[in-house]
Amino acid sequence: EGAEVHVDASVSAPLFTVHKGAPRVHLRGLRLVGAVHVSGGTVEMSECHSTGSPHGSPSRRRALRTSSPAADGSRAGLRIDGGAVLVRGTTFSGHVDGPAIAIANGSLTVQGGLLRHNHAMAGAGLLVTGGEADIKNTLIEGNTAAESGGGLKVTGGTVRLSDRTLMRGNAAPEGATMHLAGGETTYRLPTPLGRWVVISSGLAAELTPGHYDSAFPYPCSAGLVGNSDVLGLQSGPSCAGPCPAGQQCPGATVVPQACEQGHFCLLGSPAATPCPSGTFGAAANLTSVDGCSECPMGAACVAGTAEPRPCDPGSYSGAGSASCTA
Judgement on whether residues 34 and 166 belong to the same structural domain of the protein: yes
Question: How confident is the model over 245-265, as pLDDT tens digits?
Answer: 999 999 999 999 999 999 999
In three-state secondary structure terms, 126 is: strand
pLDDT of residue 34: 86
Q: What are the mean pLDDT values of the chain's consecutive 10-residue runs (326 residues total)?
A: 42 74 92 92 96 51 30 70 97 93 97 97 96 98 97 97 98 98 97 94 92 97 96 94 98 97 98 98 98 98 98 97 96
Give pTM, 2 decimals. Answer: 0.85
CB of 316 closer than 8 Å to CB of 298? yes
Residues 50 and 150 reside in one and the same domain: yes
Domain count, the chain: 2
Q: Is 199 found in the same domain as 251? A: no
Note whether 171 and 243 are same-domain residues: no
Judge if 137 and 204 occupy the same domain. yes
103, 165: one domain: yes
- For residue 10, is it within any domain? no
Number of other residues whose CB lies within 10 A of the CB of residue 261 = 18
Q: What is the 3-state secondary structure (H, E, C) of the chain?
A: CCCEEEEECCCCCCCEEECCCCCCEEEECCEEECCEEEEEEEEEEECCEEECCCCCCCCCCCEEEEECCCCCCCCCCEEEEEEEEEEECCEEECCCCCCCEEEEEEEEEEECCEEECCEEEECCCEEECCCEEEEECCEEECCEEEEECCCEEECCCEEEEECCCEEECCECCECCCEEECCCEEEEECCCCCCEECCCCCCCEEECCCEEECCCECEECCCCECCCCCCHHHCCCCCCCCECCCCEECCCCCCCCEECCCCEECCCCCCCCEECCCCEECCCCCECCHHHCEECCCCEECCCCCCCCEECCCCCECCCCCCCCEC
| Residue-level pLDDT at 237 | 96
pLDDT for res 54? 60
Residues 53 and 106 in one domain: yes
Q: Which domain holds residue 261?
A: 220-325
Among 212, 243, 260, the domain boundary falls at 212
